[in-house]
Structure 1
Amino acid sequence: MFWYDEFPARLQFELDELENAGFAVVIDPERRAAGQLVLTVIYPIADAEHPLMVVFPSDYPYFAFQVFAPTLALAKHQDPVSKLLCFVAHIDSEWNMAADTVAKYLLEQLPEVLKADKGDPSVAEAREGAPVTGFLNYMTDSLVVTSDWALPPENGRGKLVIGVENDVDLNNLFRCAILEVRDMNGDVLGQSDLSIQARYPSRFHARWVRLAGPPKSTEPLRVLDEAIKIWPELLKPNFNGEPDVVGLVFADQARFEEQHDIWLFLVRRRFRASVPVKTGRRLPPGDQIQYFLARADRGSRDDLQTRVPRLKPAAEKVVSVFGLGALGSTVAWQLARAGIGRLNLIDHDFVQAGNIPRWIMGWAAAGYGKADVLARHITHNYPFVETLAIPLKVGSPMDVKSPVGDYESRMARALEGTDLIIDCTVEFTVQNFLADYAWKHGIPYLWATGTPGAWGGIVGRAIRGKTLGCWKCFRHQLFEKKIDAPVFEEGPTVQPIGCFSPTFTGSGFDMDSVALQTVRMAVATLCVGAEHGYPDFDWDVGVVNLWKDGHPIAPSWQTCPLEQHPACDAHG
């Protein structure tokens, strides 16, 4: 049943309101019969009458209608492609189904839109930019990564160096990155970060041209015509085994009342065709050319950090994560999302298919070394984060066939230049060693553990010169119950067939609560002393209970500073 059949009184109310406001209204009978209500409303502006098309969604009045003005060409608050009018900044959150009507919007909001278009300062506008590139139709899944270049306005044309990932065929899937923008003499005007360049090893060349303003059309061929009028040589495509790409740069309102260079890419792709068409005839054999627009997306370090400014100080830091299981793999991934400068990933184990319920990656990771596969994943998806995979079991002698000093060499790589050690091994001997090493060398040490059943966990840190106590002090206090231990599920561990050792039962999403707090504390520790960095916590040890009396509860944290214990021998 259509909404206007289910709520006929609402439709009549809308029509009555429009009539009372003096608007002439026509209902499209064909669309109504097909299940969509579309009204044409005549709206007078000055001495002219403009037809407005009002389109109601199928779930009206829960969701707002849309109003299109095909005869208007407003510089503000109108989609230049579809001619959709924008009456409020966030219609999905501001729509009032009980009070808002078409007549109300036309009487109250449309006059404000028209005044804003003329620059009337009395109009309250949302402080956001609306570049034309947000309204265009692009080739599905296309992407061209750009950067935060500031090209000299006097440079109107030039060359591009485009990078492509290995094994990517741009004739099938158009995804690439601009590595260099050059002028006609070949001088570099802008280039991408070295991390981006490493991600796109294959190269080819293309051209770019500056338009006087946003393109006047959304049709690829007409956009190309605009570029050809400026640079006639663009009429002839350059096919050298890759599609022909023309980068179009122009100034547009990228932010509220701010003009910035915006990129758009026009692609000509050549293919051989002899395919049936509707008439039954075939296209003549030979070259056919496909024209489309490809989406540009800025991907510089600054573009990423703008969204998380408090994390910027961490972008120069080095973190060593020991143990890449249920906790450590999630910690490493979240640190990569946070934009840590370098991650040293240390684990000797490999991923088993059975690890998937608690491990950060899925089936495709099975059989690979945890450190190696996680490092590859982070490098591929977070190119500004340097990763170093170190297959190593801390404290275990290397195989006799290994070179003498290999263990020491790997440990040195794991700890070289590190600003923070994160211990997710949940192994007492490893914790004891790493905690001592960190304390002696003045490196912040952070540990995270979970309990059987994933019912609880502990996150703590020890920093010589900052925390009064160390990890050994924590152990004393835990043993003496001055710090409450988290709850745990009683019962034996399980050893799935094929697994080399028993393991605890428990869900990955329960353990994520511990992992996420570990990352929050890690970032806070790394940002200590940095202006505008992520604020620090006023505690050093947190114990979380996720279950109570055999039932899950909201995470319940108990926190405290890490005090020195009188029996600890690390404070002589």
Structure 2
Amino acid sequence: MNVLKRGSDQDNWWQAYPGLYARELAAYEGHGASHRPLIQQDGTLILEVLWPMDSAGSIRLNVGYSPLHPFCRPSISAPELQLERHQNPFTRDLCLLTQDSAQWYPHQMVADFIAERLSQVLQVMTLRRNEQWSEAASLEEQAPDPVTPYHMHVAEEYSAVFFDGQQTVPNAPLGTAVFLLQDRLERGRSPPFQAILSKVEPLSGTWMAKPFDLPKRAGPWKNVIGRWIRLEPPFPEAPEEILAAAEKAIERQSALFPAHLKKLGSIADDDLSITAVVFQEELSYGPDNKGNGWFFLVSRRVPGSRRRQVSLVRGYRLSSDMLSRLPVASALKSKKVVLVGCGAIGSFAAVELARSGVGQLTIIDFDLVEPGNTVRWALGRSVWGLPKTTALHDFLYHNYPWTNVGRGHAKVGSAISNVDDVRKLEGNPMRWLRALIEDADIVVDTSASTECQGALAYMCRSIGKRYVLGHATEGAAGGVVARFKPGAPGCYVCLQQHWSGKTLPLPTIDSSGTIVPTGCNAPTFTGGAFDLQEVSMEVVRSTIGLLAPDVYDSGDWQLSILDLTENGRRILPRWKAETIAPHSSCSCGASQG
């Protein structure tokens, strides 16, 4: 056999490290396995290995080495082996490692790795066949092995169907399905879309299950009536073959009801037809932890032809555990936050608060998004010229539907000297602001305005609301985050007095980092988002800690001071924690004894 070899010595690891290659081959021979190369080109080496088994002769393995061997794990398939678990049913790849990359050790020979892991997998399969579940669990990763992921390599790249993880399905073999569908930007060969599986219904009778939907949807959506059918795995690999199996099952189940068959057949003839296949698969580890899995098969009429194109569309389960990666999220879903100031600090804080699952977020700012803001603002070109609150509101509305976002395009505390302008007001600004604060659980001030800070700190203390302020310093040399609890010692005025008297440290500033951009009448400071987000993230952490201290440790400090430079040079971000003691000159009450 002539094996194709191509590439420079440095491109192919077996040529760059000939000693390692020799040790790899010798390791197979040490285990009594024969080997021969199947392909050796473009950085890829695949060996065919006959691996000896104690009682069953040998197993043929295809061992594919990573182009970045020995740093990255190999791929090992057993084309003639058929396991119910720990093996891809189509590629026959063996699952000898979990997804944790730390399980692969670069110093280990692949043959030694096979000797260790293959016998363990085969032992697990024997234990599972004998229903020795606890013994099997001690040897394998306790993770589910669902059917769905093995088919996703043939799914459309840009389309998606979202469904309720607790979707109720009628006790029937088939029926109709209601989808909400929205077209996506054209990409690839098939016109992409996103859809929501709203409801599955039986063909006859009344089905009382509540339709599923996202909390909010933006843009035009349309109703599409599809079909659903129960099938049993295993399934063929090709979407066309799965749909053909579904069609046969529909015909068989509807044989006694011609009207049903006609109804489902007319759905299949639509220009775009969706057939949902529901089946049982393992959703969590264990023999009895099965639930509904879904395939979404899409059949499109080819324009100008009678032919149809069939594809598989990925389904995404939406459920209460969506935010399980962030345990504090469940404690935040009922919380209300008012954020004042949506600039370089506040825009990123707003996004992170919504991303964290805050139930209601009201954002307030008076400014517009300037092109020059791009270097340190959360959004880019598509929102230039929009009010900052509008741009953020629309982005959060589209991307974090479980957070209710309100907005106010206003400058907190601005005065008016024109009588006609006062008459145009839609009410008392003070009453509006007070109502927002009274309804909120916390106020976050990223306005970087001492006037605004003083007013909001006073109102929050008098109303009894928690207050967090955060801002960067000139030249993005440092920053400050301070948080105040109602009735706690030390207030905003105390902080200012301590700074004035130099009894609390000030953050680093770089006064040379102040500029007036061309065409602008207000100075600003230099600095990019990659530095300023240090302040934004601590603002978010402080806010979450105050909102949910039982779940997320808030820390025992009141003042956080950030330094990003020292003696004119960049340093690693350095935070100092301080306590704000009551100041003798302040009449905040906490200082009176």
Q: Which amino acid aligns with 1:290?
A: Q
The answer to whether residue 97 in structure 2 is matched with residue 97 in structure 1 is no
Q: Which amino acid aligns with 1:55?
A: G
Q: Which residue of 1 aligns with 2:300?
A: 269
Contact 2:83/2:125 (<8 A) preserved? yes
User: Superposed, which structure 2 residues align to 1:296-307 within 5 Å?
Assistant: 296-300=315-319, 302-307=320-325
Percent sequence identity over aligned pairs? 28
Q: Select between 377-386 and 162-171 the one with higher mean Cα deviation.
A: 162-171
- Measured against aligned partners, the alpha-carbon deviations of 1:227-257 in whole angstroms (never above 9, x if no partner) come to 2343224983626865211112222122222
Contact 2:62/2:78 (<8 A) preserved? yes
The answer to whether residue 146 in structure 2 is matched with residue 117 in structure 1 is no
The answer to whether residue 178 in structure 2 is matched with residue 161 in structure 1 is yes
Contact 2:475/2:512 (<8 A) preserved? no
Cα distance, 1:541 vs structure 2: 1.2
- Tell me: CA distance 1:544–1:59, structure 2 relative to 1, closer, same or farther (3 Å): closer
Q: Which residue of 1 aligns with 2:254?
A: none
Q: Which residue of 2 aligns with 1:283?
A: none
User: Superposed, which structure 2 residues align to 1:174-253 within 5 Å?
Assistant: 174-184=193-203, 185=205, 187-189=207-209, 191-196=211-216, 201-212=221-232, 214-232=233-251, 233=261, 236=265, 238=267, 243-253=272-282
Q: Which residue of 1 aligns with 2:442?
A: 420
Contact 1:462/1:562 (<8 A) preserved? no
Cα distance, 1:159 vs structure 2: 2.7
State the TM-score, normalizing by the size of structure 2: 0.86
Q: 2:46 aligns with which of 31, 34, 38?
A: 38
Whole-Å Cα distance in 1 between the matches of residues 148 and 577 of structure 2?
A: 49
Contact 1:131/1:253 (<8 A) preserved? yes
Contact 1:268/1:290 (<8 A) preserved? yes
Whole-Å Cα distance in 2 between the matches of residues 9 and 194 of structure 1?
A: 58
Q: Which residue of 2 aligns with 1:282?
A: none
Q: Count residues in correspondence.
A: 551
Contact 2:342/2:364 (<8 A) preserved? yes
The answer to whether residue 78 in structure 2 is matched with residue 86 in structure 1 is no
- Tell me: CA distance 1:557–1:58, structure 2 relative to 1, closer, same or farther (3 Å): closer
- Tell me: CA distance 1:220–1:190, structure 2 relative to 1, closer, same or farther (3 Å): farther
Contact 1:23/1:41 (<8 A) preserved? yes
User: Superposed, which structure 2 residues align to 1:67-466 within 5 Å?
Assistant: 67-90=76-99, 92-102=101-111, 104-118=112-126, 119=128, 121=135, 124-136=139-151, 137=153, 138-151=155-168, 154-165=171-182, 172-184=191-203, 185=205, 187-189=207-209, 191-196=211-216, 201-212=221-232, 214-232=233-251, 233=261, 236=265, 238=267, 243-257=272-286, 258-273=289-304, 286-300=305-319, 302-397=320-415, 399-400=421-422, 402-403=424-425, 405=427, 407-408=429-430, 410-411=432-433, 414-415=436-437, 417-465=439-487
Q: Which residue of 1 aligns with 2:575?
A: 557
Cα distance, 1:139 vs structure 2: 0.8
Q: Which residue of 2 aligns with 1:277?
A: none
Contact 2:339/2:444 (<8 A) preserved? yes
- Measured against aligned partners, the alpha-carbon deviations of 1:395-420 in whole angstroms (never above 9, x if no partner) come to 12463462452635653564351111
Cα distance, 1:365 vs structure 2: 1.4
Q: Which amino acid aligns with 2:178?
A: V
Alignment RMSD, CA only? 2.6
Q: Which amino acid aligns with 1:114?
A: L
Whole-Å Cα distance in 2 between the matches of residues 549 and 252 of structure 1?
A: 61
Q: 2:542 aligns with which of 505, 521, 531?
A: 521
Say which SS state the counterpart of residue 93 (structure 2) adopts: coil
Q: 1:487 aligns with which of 492, 500, 508?
A: 508
Q: Which residue of 2 aligns with 1:544?
A: 562
Contact 2:363/2:406 (<8 A) preserved? yes
Q: Which residue of 1 aligns with 2:14?
A: 4
Contact 2:163/2:197 (<8 A) preserved? yes
Contact 2:225/2:267 (<8 A) preserved? no
Whole-Å Cα distance in 1 between the matches of residues 234 and 427 of structure 2?
A: 64
Contact 1:150/1:190 (<8 A) preserved? no
Provide structure 1 residue ranges, at least 5 long, that are not aligned to the other structure: 274-285
- Tell me: CA distance 1:547–1:127, structure 2 relative to 1, closer, same or farther (3 Å): same
Say which SS state the counterpart of residue 118 (structure 2) adopts: helix
